[in-house]
Structure 1
Amino acid sequence: MRYLWFSLLLLPLLLSPFPFYLTLLNFFAIAALVALSLYVLTGLGGMTSFAQAAFMGMGAYATALLTVKGGYSPWLGLLLGLGLALVLALVLGGLTVRLKGHFLPLSTIAWQVALYILAGNLVGLTGGHTGLTDLPALVLFGLPLDNAFRYAFLSLFLLALLVLALHNLRESRLGRALLALRGDALAAASFGVDPAALRLKAFLLSGFLAGLAGFLYAHFLRFVNPTPFSLEASIKYLVMAVAGGVGAIPGVLLGAALFTGLEDWLKDLLPLLLGRQGNYETIAYGLILAAILILAPRGLWPLLARYLPRREGRLPREAPLPERPLLGGEGQVVLEAQGLRKAFGGLLAVNGVSLSLRRGEILALIGPNGAGKSTTFNLITGAIPPDAGEVRLLGRPITGLPPHRIHPLGLARTFQHPHLFPELSVLENVALGTYARTRAGFLQVLLGLHRKEEARALATAYRALKRVGLESLALEKAERLPAGQQRLLEIARALASGASVLLLDEPGAGLRAGEKRELAHLLKSLAREGYSILIVDHDMDLIMGLADRVVVMNYGEKIAEGTPKEVQKDPLVRAAYLGEVA
């Protein structure tokens, strides 16, 4: 990233003999800012927006109205423009970030079209489609930025600054959490991420970046009308980001550079080939995007990055985060469920189930397929709310609390199918577990003030990996691990979270016999240290040799509870598993 900073700022000097290319350079910088806003929103957060041009319009029209009609400084226009872009992002994000699937992009289209129509029809205020002219040039340190050469230093400086800031975001707890939300919101919430709040903050940052681009656009052209802020413009920026590779900062910069140059070239070439009438470049964009996505589904940058030298990661050297005290005293009940009930329509999945887990104990929850084990598991962890009953953690009611509020109290879980994130390394996947133990917010992260805390979080993750025997794989991509090691990685993430009540959903699935013995040894050692473990698994050999007590379910009800030997002899259990008459 440090070389990118210098190369961007050298470009105006290299292109100074070519005024036309200096103009294109400024358009590239402005387009790249919008593409970076989509990197935050889509590349990290997994949300699709067709309203980025509307945020640009807020920044552009705010400064235009303040300077042209009010006679105020453009820098006041910048503050007003960014403020209005943030207000629009707050309103739009607050109403839409909870939407899923196609509803989110459709709602942003509606907002984009509405604001475009509004700008074109408020003739007395915005000048309608004729627009506002004669915006003043920006003046910086007494020097008027009244030509493309001078303006390029400002636009590229801001671009380089924001590239570094977003690089800091990606290499932080918030960047990891946004990537986790993109992949699996429930998994992210299970280690303390509030999905709606984090998505809204990403929306605000995205709106800020696009609003800044609108301000720069207005004072570069010194003219504003609705056309550059239309739905077509929003689609163009999304095409830029996706074609270049929206999941990486170099990708969105590549896309912005490619399409900024391509747009001008197509506007000159296509009329010669196809006649003077029609916006043929829009069709060409679609064909080019289709070709890119067929040949490189993740965009051009991942395709090019294969041929570039890979940056080797570093293992953490800082001291880990301080250990959290274990919940409860010796033998004390730390987790208790009473009378849990859950129905899905006419299906009664869980009916009056009660259980308790003591400190330092391994409690197994078993039963045949369809017995209601997973539903009970999800009721306890807050993934779904119960219809009746109560869950307490160290005597504190947690019934109905969402997972992101339960986790910081000291409870962590794994999943029946490992919920890992392939874009992240093994170390980063485990570091996700430290989210609730760290505090750096967006401003600290963007300014790079989070690095010491980040190093300690990674050191904590590495310590957890050593605990489960995966430290040699810390810098590998998580997707390369076999199923058994993926399950151990999830346990490491739970340990990194500092939680002392561990709920493990089928941790033995996919493990070979030797790996299961190592898993049993690990869980027993954790229990001896005071960790409390609730485990669901179908492997009876593993469970009966591991658990201190066993709770057996069938058809949504608890049918037996006791030591492994007592449960094995219970006629109801034998009937449920073996079909024997009770």
Structure 2
Amino acid sequence: MRHLSVRFLPLIAFIAILGLLPILPTPEFWITLANYIGLYAIVALGLVLLTGVGGLTSFGQAAFVGLGAYSTAYLSTQFGLSPWIGLLAGLGVTTVAALAIGGITMRLSGHFLPLGTIAWALSLYFLFGNLEFLGKYDGLNGIPAINLLGIELDSGRKMFYLIWVILLIALAGLQNLLNSRPGRAIRALNGGGVMAEAMGVNTAWIKVLIFVLAALMASVSGWLYAHLQRSISPTPFGLNAGIEYLFMAVVGGAGYVWGAILGSALLTVLKDQLQSWLPKLLGASGNFETIVFGILMVLLLQRARDGLWPYLRKLAPAKPTVRAPESATALPARSKHADAAVVLEIDRARKKFGGLVAVNDMSFSVEAGQIVGLIGPNGAGKSTMFNLVTGVLPLTSGAIRFRAQQELQQISGLPSRRIVARGIARTFQHVRLMSSMSVLENVAIGAHLRGSHNDVSGIAASLLRLNRAEEKALLFEARKQLERVGLGHLLYEEAGSLALGQQRILEIARALCCDPTLLLLDEPAAGLRYQEKQALAVLLRKLKAEGMSILLVEHDMDFVMNLTDHLVVMEFGSKIAEGLPAAIQQDLAVLEAYLGGIDE
């Protein structure tokens, strides 16, 4: 209990200061500044989720602030409706707009995504300024104050508590979300969609959902802004404001929820001071603070790309917030396939990239409880074959069938998330982990499909912490799999701090969390020392004894020959041999193509 109170002491002190600020004889200017910091931080929080965590850059959040502000302003001034009805209307309008815009924009990648956000931000800005019923560029005046429990919030001092309570609720909800099953899926977006999809995450839909959530935060900020200012015009909702919101998130630390408040406070105070000092210093009026912000952004990207919050965190290192329980209700598990049943069937699979045939009419099968090795020289097409089986790449021709629900079913053409749902899990040739997340959380991503909520209800439950029982079961499963592979002592270490060999074992634990009946391992022994390879072999034999079917690609021939039941050899995309390891060792074509020729 004492440790808990010490841990939350800075937060308690921060809230106490906020609570006293309007009560004390604080200058009105300070209250106004604090109100704007709170408004900006609500928008920046959405950008932490969207950009810092999800890896999706947006310059257009100011337009969603405008949607929230104009919705309540129009309804309250033209129809005399309550600001609370205006809030609901703004959230509704923003949801529809964000779904429509996000459904198009979130499909973009690279530099096209930020360019897309700039385009729709400009469109909405000019829409606000050209619509007659919104007052064009003069805007709307006479917006009424918010009435809360009979209290008229008709001044900045009275609005202070409402702004900051909403901000702190949003911050707590976002922290709850990020420490949950859907939160781990969102964080996995930043590591590339291939790994997330392989763990069952619908990345396209998750991107749209977090885009909508960030837009709703901006809309709430706009609602508060309209009733604080009591009049609005299009100017605060333009592209410049959108860039400033993004700058606030980046300066504070785009990957950290408290970074949103830090960045908003720093930039708001700095902007106010620069607007006073620079004209006096330079002897002329103008928006000189924009130049300073540009220079600061360049320096920040060079020296502190993660923002300033990580430096403050180092002053008081915190223990992991996500911890595995000692016990929990076991998750439902699939029953393994009957012995001798064909689990995976590759039937004349072909993959062409233009004129290059990477996989040429490959045919082989994997039986239940069998370890099959797929070997061949570099560039033979082994990893491409893995990607075809797991849906990362589409087949050009042929078929791939997997035994699910006791019958072979065609899986070629299905996306990765639907293939893993049938019981195929994989690791990667080049390790794909979230390096800043703990070992435990990385493995828990593998249990994404084993949660009881869909994406929408899962996010809602996570925000309100209604998912505690589910989280307990998922984290316990992750702990169990880590102990199973021998990494139970590293639960709370950052995954990026592990040695390469440990990271590969970590990927196996993550794949096991998917509850597969077929495990695909892409060079699992690469980077492992001799003793680690022996421990891996013991683990794979144990999995085989439990009924797991395993297909692996590996270059260590001693490891493969002593472990596998069956071998398939590829060269230039084609199968050149297949059979028992002892027979493959004597095969002339294999010796010539792969093992370096025949001894004279």
Band the TM-score falls in, shorter-chain normalisation: over 0.9
What number of residue pairs does the alignment pair up? 581
Task: Give 1:339-350 correspondences, 5 Å limit.
Answer: 339-350=348-359
Equivalent of residue 359 in structure 1, options 361, 364, 368: 368
Question: In the alignment, is the contact (CA less than 8 A) between 2:252 and 2:307 conserved in 1?
Answer: yes
Task: Give 1:118-133 correspondences, 5 Å limit.
Answer: 118-122=127-131, 124-133=132-141
Equivalent of residue 397 in structure 1, options 410, 414, 424: 410
Q: Distance in 2 between matches of 1:303 and 1:61?
A: 39
Q: Distance in 1 between matches of 2:392 and 2:52?
A: 26
1:191 maps to 199
- Does 1:283 find its partner at 2:304? no
1:149 maps to 157
Segment of structure 1 superposing worse, 103-112 or 433-442: 433-442
Shift, 1:439, TM fit: 2.9
1:30 maps to 39
1:217 maps to 225
Question: In the alignment, is the contact (CA less than 8 A) between 2:324 and 2:472 conserved in 1?
Answer: no
Matched position secondary structure for 1:156: helix
Code of the residue aligned with 1:207 in structure 2: it is A
2:87 maps to 78
- Does 1:423 find its partner at 2:436? yes
Q: Distance in 2 between matches of 1:559 and 1:309?
A: 56
- Does 1:319 find its partner at 2:332? no
* TM-score normalised by the chain length of structure 1: 0.97
Q: Distance in 1 between matches of 2:412 and 2:449?
A: 20
Note the alpha carbon deviations across 1:355-374, whole angstroms, 9 max, x for none.
Answer: 11111100000011111111
1:442 maps to 459
Code of the residue aligned with 2:174 in structure 1: it is L
Code of the residue aligned with 2:42 in structure 1: it is L
- Does 1:98 find its partner at 2:98? no
Question: What's the RMSD between the two structures over aligned residues?
Answer: 1.6
- Does 1:484 find its partner at 2:501? yes
1:272 maps to 280
- CA gap of 1:43–1:174, structure 2 versus 1, over 3 A, is same
1:140 maps to 148
Task: Give 1:359-398 correspondences, 5 Å limit.
Answer: 359-394=368-403, 395-398=408-411
Matched position secondary structure for 2:452: coil
Shift, 1:71, TM fit: 1.5
Q: Distance in 1 between matches of 2:320 and 2:555?
A: 40
Task: Give 1:509-520 correspondences, 5 Å limit.
Answer: 509-520=526-537
Note the alpha carbon deviations across 1:558-577, whole angstroms, 9 max, x for none.
Answer: 11111101111112111212
Q: Distance in 2 between matches of 1:490 and 1:172?
A: 20
Matched position secondary structure for 1:132: coil
Shift, 1:10, TM fit: 4.5
Question: In the alignment, is the contact (CA less than 8 A) between 2:199 and 2:425 conserved in 1?
Answer: yes
Q: Distance in 1 between matches of 2:164 and 2:14?
A: 10
1:453 maps to 470
Matched position secondary structure for 1:223: coil
Q: Where do 5+ consecutive residues of structure 2 fail to align?
A: 1-6
Q: Distance in 1 between matches of 2:485 and 2:236?
A: 55
Shift, 1:311, TM fit: 2.1
Question: In the alignment, is the contact (CA less than 8 A) between 2:331 and 2:473 conserved in 1?
Answer: no
1:501 maps to 518
Q: Distance in 1 between matches of 2:347 and 2:358?
A: 15
Shift, 1:13, TM fit: 2.4
2:544 maps to 527
Note the alpha carbon deviations across 1:439-498, whole angstroms, 9 max, x for none.
Answer: 341110101111221121111011001111001011100011111111100001111111
Matched position secondary structure for 2:527: coil
Shift, 1:6, TM fit: 7.1
Segment of structure 1 superposing worse, 111-120 or 288-297: 288-297
- CA gap of 1:218–1:43, structure 2 versus 1, over 3 A, is same
Question: In the alignment, is the contact (CA less than 8 A) between 2:249 and 2:264 conserved in 1?
Answer: yes
Equivalent of residue 52 in structure 1, options 39, 52, 61: 61
Segment of structure 1 superposing worse, 6-15 or 225-234: 6-15
Shift, 1:305, TM fit: 1.3
Note the alpha carbon deviations across 1:238-287, whole angstroms, 9 max, x for none.
Answer: 00000110100111110011111112111211121123431111112112
Note the alpha carbon deviations across 1:502-561, whole angstroms, 9 max, x for none.
Answer: 000000100111111111111011001100000000111000000000011111111111
Note the alpha carbon deviations across 1:302-335, whole angstroms, 9 max, x for none.
Answer: 1221111322554422315324123421221111
Q: Distance in 2 between matches of 1:550 and 1:376?
A: 14
Q: Distance in 2 between matches of 1:75 and 1:28?
A: 22
Q: Distance in 2 between matches of 1:315 and 1:151?
A: 41
Matched position secondary structure for 1:183: coil
Segment of structure 1 superposing worse, 251-260 or 572-581: 572-581
Note the alpha carbon deviations across 1:193-230, whole angstroms, 9 max, x for none.
Answer: 01101111011101110011110110000111011000
Q: Distance in 2 between matches of 1:76 and 1:19?
A: 29
Q: Distance in 1 between matches of 2:268 and 2:330?
A: 46
Note the alpha carbon deviations across 1:287-313, whole angstroms, 9 max, x for none.
Answer: 223333333221111122111132255
1:239 maps to 247
Shift, 1:127, TM fit: 1.3
Matched position secondary structure for 1:459: helix
- Does 1:537 find its partner at 2:546? no
Q: Distance in 2 between matches of 1:225 and 1:235?
A: 18
1:409 maps to 422
Q: Distance in 2 between matches of 1:317 and 1:354?
A: 45
Question: In the alignment, is the contact (CA less than 8 A) between 2:331 and 2:450 conserved in 1?
Answer: no
Task: Give 1:3-18 correspondences, 5 Å limit.
Answer: 4=11, 7-8=14-15, 10-16=17-23, 17=25, 18=27
Shift, 1:2, TM fit: 6.1
2:175 maps to 167
- Does 1:433 find its partner at 2:440? no
Q: Distance in 1 between matches of 2:336 and 2:357?
A: 33
- CA gap of 1:482–1:381, structure 2 versus 1, over 3 A, is same
Question: In the alignment, is the contact (CA less than 8 A) between 2:399 and 2:410 conserved in 1?
Answer: yes
Question: In the alignment, is the contact (CA less than 8 A) between 2:360 and 2:573 conserved in 1?
Answer: yes
* TM-score normalised by the chain length of structure 2: 0.94
- CA gap of 1:8–1:230, structure 2 versus 1, over 3 A, is farther
1:571 maps to 588
Equivalent of residue 112 in structure 1, options 115, 121, 129: 121
Q: Distance in 1 between matches of 2:207 and 2:139?
A: 34
Q: Distance in 1 between matches of 2:278 and 2:285?
A: 10
